[in-house]
Amino acid sequence: MSVVVLSSLDVFASDLKGPLVSPVSVPAGFPSPAQDYFTGRIDLNKHLIRDVTSTFLVRVSGHSMDGAGIADGDELVVDRSITPADGQVVIAVIDGELTIKRLRLEHGRVRLAAENPDYPDIIVPELSEVTVWGVVTRCLHHV
């Protein structure tokens, strides 16, 4: 699985405002006839981005993270200012290429885990260095 960096999200800062349909959660079951609907605007910067100067949008290519709900063609919001931790989905640099994997820190070793059994995990040799380019904070999934 690879990624293509689309842009820093600060480029889209003025475009990340859209209509807000309802100020409350929307149930997945039967709708409530008692709910009022609100027509206002929502600033997606406030909901999706913690640090606009270090946040990027990347497009996914491949299927190795299908089990994590990340599909081919999805866009990911990636924050480069977050310190990566065990269990997070990260963008890592392997042999000069960006890849998406789940970071696993085990007994002093680094494993980049795929979320699809058809793809192997990447075990980083002890003396090798892996660079985590950024931490995935959101997945914009196409339906």
Whole-angstrom distance, CA of residue 122 vs CA of residue 106: 13
Judge whether 125 lies within some domain. Answer: yes
Give CA–CA dist 59/2, Å, rounded.
8
Distance CA 34, CA 49 (A): 32
| Structural domain contains residue 94 | yes
Query: Of 28-32, 48-52, 72-76, 129-133, which one has max mean pLDDT?
Result: 72-76
User: Any idea what the CATH number is for the domain that residue 105 is in?
Assistant: 2.10.109.10
Question: Cα separation of 116 and 129, whole Å?
Answer: 24
> In which domain, by residue range, is 55 found?
2-13+49-140
Residue that is written with structure tokens 């100020």 in the block: 23
Domain assignment of residue 83, yes or no: yes
pLDDT value at residue 94: 83
Q: What value does the mean pLDDT take over residues 34-55? A: 75
Question: What is the per-residue pLDDT for 106?
Answer: 87
Please report whether residue 40 resides in a domain: no
C-beta separation of 131 from 13 below 8 A: no
Q: What is the pLDDT of residue 82?
A: 95
Query: In the predicted model, is pLDDT for residue 16 greater than 50?
Result: no
Domain assignment present for 36: no
Instruction: Indicate the number of domains in the chain.
Output: 1
Positions annotated as catalytic residues are 64, 101
Q: Is 29 a residue whose pLDDT tops 60?
A: yes
Which burial class, exposed, middle or buried, applies to 64 when counting CB atoms under 10 A from its CB (0-12, 13-18, 19+)? buried
Q: What is the pLDDT at residue 34?
A: 55
Q: What is the pTM of this model?
A: 0.74
| Digit-coded pLDDT (tens) for 112-131 | 999 999 999 999 877 667 78
Contact 91, 78 (CB under 8 A): yes
> Rounded to whole angstroms, how far apart are CA atoms 41 and 87?
34
SS3 115: coil
Q: Examine residue 25 and state whether it is found in any structural domain, yes or no.
A: no
In a domain, 22, yes or no: no
* pLDDT at residue 89 is higher than 90: yes
Residue 136 lies in a domain: yes
